[in-house]
Amino acid sequence: MIRRSNINAAVRREASRQYAKSFFKKAMKTLFYSVVMLVFSFCAKAQENNPFTTGFEKRLPSKILDEQRTVWIHIPTSNGGIGNTGKGRYPVIYLLDGDTNFNDVVSMTEFMSNAGLCPPMIVVGILHPARMKDLTFGTDKEMPGITGNGQKFMLYVEKELMPFIESNYPTASYKIFIGHSVGGLTVVNTMIHHPYLFNAYISLDGALWWNDQQIVKEAKLALANTKYKGKTLFMALANRMEKGMDTLQVQKDTTEGTELIRSNLEFIKDISKNKPNQLRFRHAYYENDDHGSVRLIGEYDALRFIFDYYKLKIYNSELDDPNFKMDCLLVTHYNNVSEQIGYPVKPAENQVNGLAYYMLRQKQFIKAEALFKLNITNYPGSANCYDGLGDLYLAKGDKAKAIENFEKTLSLKLIPETKQKLEALLKEKK
């Protein structure tokens, strides 16, 4: 005899199985859409899980500084990690304290560009044989043994380093300047006195206290009289305060330990008073980070802020709607990106190709055709673009147009798979 408890257990197991099956279906559908969205957001071809070379070293003679200088250079993995390949041109990050900061920023930019959050970028890490000499200006009464040579160092960056990078690597016009501590001091000093040098400035817990807050005082006049249209500044502030103190109370403090954050807060107040200068600005206070740890989170948040317009958003409803003009969405989005960044940016070939094939598999032929043709418009020399359009016409049963596009593909590049498709169609035609 079967006990009632066993029957109830069996019912419960079957109900659990049916629930799990239903849940799994819903979860897989959600996961599928999430994966689709992630793939389409990529601006570069998906990378295999292989190690990549972070960068390489260059030693350059400097006439201005009268010494050999060393930089570490990273070219985007999507470009093959090497110089001019014709695959694209990239914004450049000029990074102070390259020896301690380079690997973090390279990994961050590779992750963010693969996630569609920013463009792939060249990273130039500048090494400092005498850090305080490079990154300070004049003397500070509290540190009489140090004489800063910051003006001369920045002249080297502008007149020697930048021209070298722009002559030898696939650079775009957009440039970012990142510095931590006295590097942040150099970043702010450059934005105040040489705003034309970079498009975006990132100061990470900058040592604006230097020489009795000299740069804070100089900034008051500059912020009121300089137009910063098209310029972006992000400032990260660490928690350098005593227990129980907040960012309002600390401004009344006079102890040496809070001098750095007070200097930054004074500078931020002056920025807020001069909004007509059109500086695009944001700052963030990290309560749970100190001077050393704030660097990494500050860099990530800064790049997210600088490129907050970059990510392409596609909703499930737009993917499913056969009447939604996906090609128009892409064109509008990248026109906006181009306007914001200051040079033409096109949707990546692989990004559009993946989206077009998804539409093809869903039998949304009108959307797929528009996307394949958009790719051909943007990349007329790419064999892969014509191969995709050929696959579309083959799926629609338009063999003549399929043959035409496969022939065009092979005229640009011999792709064995395309050759097989063309031979099969020509054989049928006979």
Q: Is 1 exposed, middle or buried (0-12, 13-18, 19+ CB in 10 A)?
A: exposed
**Do the domain assignments include residue 61?**
yes
**Do the domain assignments include residue 234?**
yes
Q: What CATH code is carried by the domain that includes residue 235?
A: 3.40.50.1820
Specify the higher pLDDT residue, 44 or 314.
314
The side-by-side arrangement of strands in the sheet containing 56-62 is 56-62, 67-74, 122-126, 90-95, 171-180, 200-204, 232-238, 280-286
Residue 53 is predicted with a pLDDT of: 66
380 in the same domain as 259: no
**Do the domain assignments include residue 23?**
no
**Do the domain assignments include residue 311?**
no
The pLDDT tens digits of the residues spanning 353-397 come to 999 999 999 999 999 999 999 999 999 999 999 999 999 999 999
**306, 330, 360: which is the final residue of a domain?**
306
> Both tokens of residue 123?
């990273």
**Domain extent at residue 139:** 56-306
**Do the domain assignments include residue 7?**
no
180 in the same domain as 105: yes
Is the pLDDT at 330 greater than 70? The verdict is yes
Nearest to 311 by CA among 271, 273, 351: 351
Residue 12 is predicted with a pLDDT of: 40
Mean pLDDT of 307-318: 96
Residue 46 is predicted with a pLDDT of: 40
**277, 306, 335: which is the final residue of a domain?**
306
70 in the same domain as 194: yes
Residue 144 is predicted with a pLDDT of: 76
Number of structural domains the chain divides into: 2
208 in the same domain as 108: yes
331 in the same domain as 294: no
406 in the same domain as 289: no
Specify the higher pLDDT residue, 19 or 405.
405
182 in the same domain as 209: yes
Is the pLDDT at 210 greater than 80? The verdict is yes
254 in the same domain as 157: yes
Query: Maximum CA pair distance of the chain?
Result: 98
pLDDT bin (cut points 50, 70, 90) of residue 241 is: confident
pLDDT bin (cut points 50, 70, 90) of residue 406 is: very high
**Do the domain assignments include residue 326?**
yes
283 in the same domain as 233: yes
How high is the mean pLDDT of the chain? 87
Mean pLDDT of 294-316: 97
95 in the same domain as 142: yes
**Do the domain assignments include residue 42?**
no
pLDDT bin (cut points 50, 70, 90) of residue 86 is: low
219 in the same domain as 367: no
Residue 245 is predicted with a pLDDT of: 73
pLDDT bin (cut points 50, 70, 90) of residue 43 is: very low
Residue 248 is predicted with a pLDDT of: 79
Residue 146 is predicted with a pLDDT of: 82
Is the pLDDT at 141 greater than 80? The verdict is no
> Both tokens of residue 333?
């989005």
Give Cα separations from 341 to 33, 168, 303 (angstroms). Answer: 30, 22, 13
Q: What CATH code is carried by the domain that includes residue 340?
A: 1.25.40.10
Residue 30 is predicted with a pLDDT of: 40
**Candidate from 26-35, 53-62, 222-231, 364-373 with smallest mean pLDDT:** 26-35
CB-based contacts of 68, cutoff 8 Å, min separation 6? 59, 60, 61, 62
Nearest to 261 by CA among 294, 228, 232: 294
Residue 47 is predicted with a pLDDT of: 41
Is the pLDDT at 284 greater than 70? The verdict is yes
pLDDT bin (cut points 50, 70, 90) of residue 256 is: confident
The pLDDT tens digits of the residues spanning 177-196 come to 999 999 999 999 999 999 99
Q: Which amino acid is at 12?
A: R
Residue 266 is predicted with a pLDDT of: 94
**247, 282, 306: which is the final residue of a domain?**
306
pLDDT bin (cut points 50, 70, 90) of residue 151 is: very high
Find residue 283's DSSP bridge partners: 235
301 in the same domain as 405: no
Per the CB < 8 A criterion, the answer to whether 240 and 261 are in contact is yes
**Do the domain assignments include residue 43?**
no
**Candidate from 7-11, 102-106, 370-374, 381-385 with smallest mean pLDDT:** 7-11
Mean pLDDT of 396-406: 96
